[in-house]
Every structure is written in structure tokens, then in C-alpha cells.
Amino acid sequence: MHDILALQTWSLHERKELVLLVDTSLNGDFDAEEACRFLKIGLLCTQDSPKLRPSMSTILRLLTGEKTIDDQNITKPGLISDFMDLKVRSQEKAEKFSKLVCTDTVCELNSSSSSSANNTTFVSQSFTDIQDRSI
């Protein structure tokens, strides 16, 4: 759920439409500038690099309006970067295992090259019967 909210918030931030995240049941009875400021602070606190995230004292000053938010300092939330990285790694892993050929006892990872030097063999063993050793 948090990932989806971060993704949606980032997308709306990029389109300069953060105000669309505000609860519609408020029927427009809110300060849009304040709501967007709070959402931007949330984005600052979830940036990919912890070093880019503001300190608690800075957050307090941002929340109270003592300090302004520089939109240029807001970077993509870490969750989105992690998700995109995971998606790429999962795709690579899926491609790798699509080349896995298994028999009853051996699995071979075949590469696209015809050279046998590029093949990796994995030996597998299954246990189907357990006997009591105390006999």
C-alpha cells in the first residue's frame, strides 16, 4: 500500500497535480497550498538516498512554514527506485531460468551460445522414502 501511495504521489508531483491527492470528502474546504506543502515534505522524507532526506528540525521548520521547499531538491522516493530495480532484476532472473532444462536428476542452465563451456549443471536429488534408523 505504501509503495502505491508513493508511486501515485510522485506521479502527481511530476505533473504538478499534488492537490488531487487531497481527500475529496473535504469538498474543497482546505488550504491547497498547505496540503501540497505537506505532501512535498512526505516526498522529501522518502527520497532514495537517506542523505538527501531532511533532519527532523528541518521538517518541523518546513511544516510550520518557517522554511520553504525547493522543488528542485525533491527526488524520486526510494520505494519507487527499489521497485523498478526489483522489476529489472526479476525480469533478468526470469530470462535466466527460462533457459533451465531439467531431467529427473539434473538441471542444466543452457546459454544462447552453442559452446558447452557456457552450460552450467545443477544436480538435484529428491527424497521419496524415509526409513526409521532405530530398527
Residues 16 and 63 in one domain: yes
Q: What is the pLDDT of residue 78?
A: 78
Q: Which grid coordinates belong to 27?
A: 469538498
What integer pLDDT is reported at residue 33 of this predicted model? 93
Same domain, 110 and 73: no
Domain co-membership, 64 together with 119: no
pLDDT digits (tens, 9 = 90+) for 97-135: 555 555 555 555 565 544 445 555 545 454 455 556 665
Local structure of 88: helix, strand or coil: helix
Task: Decide: 107 and 101 in contact? Cβ < 8 Å.
Answer: yes
In tens, the pLDDT along 28-62 reads: 999 999 999 999 999 999 888 889 999 999 999 99
Q: Is residue 89 part of a domain?
A: no
* Placement of cell 497550498 in the chain: 33
The answer to whether the beta carbons of residues 65 and 96 sit under 8 Å apart is: no
Domain containing residue 114: 99-130
Residues 69 and 24 in one domain: yes
Structural domain includes residue 103? yes
The answer to whether residue 87 sits within a structural domain is no
Residue 82: its pLDDT value, please? Answer: 53
86 vs 90: CA distance, rounded Å = 6
Q: Is 44 a member of any domain?
A: yes
Q: Are residues 6 and 45 in the same domain?
A: yes
Mark whether 73 and 123 lie in a shared domain. Answer: no
Average pLDDT over residues 75-79: 81
Q: Is residue 74 one of the residues assigned to a domain?
A: yes
Crossing angle of the two packed helices 56-64 and 32-45, in degrees rounded to 10: 170
pLDDT at 68 over 80: yes
Cell of 10: 510522485
* pLDDT score at 115: 47
Res 66: pLDDT: 95
Average pLDDT of the segment spanning 20-27: 92
In the 8-state DSSP scheme, what is residue 103? -
Q: Based on the domain organization, do 106 and 58 belong to the same domain?
A: no
Question: What is the number of structural domains in the chain?
Answer: 2
**91 within domain boundaries:** no
Confidence of residue 13 (pLDDT cuts 50, 70, 90): very high
Kindly state whether residue 135 falls inside one of the protein's structural domains.
Answer: no
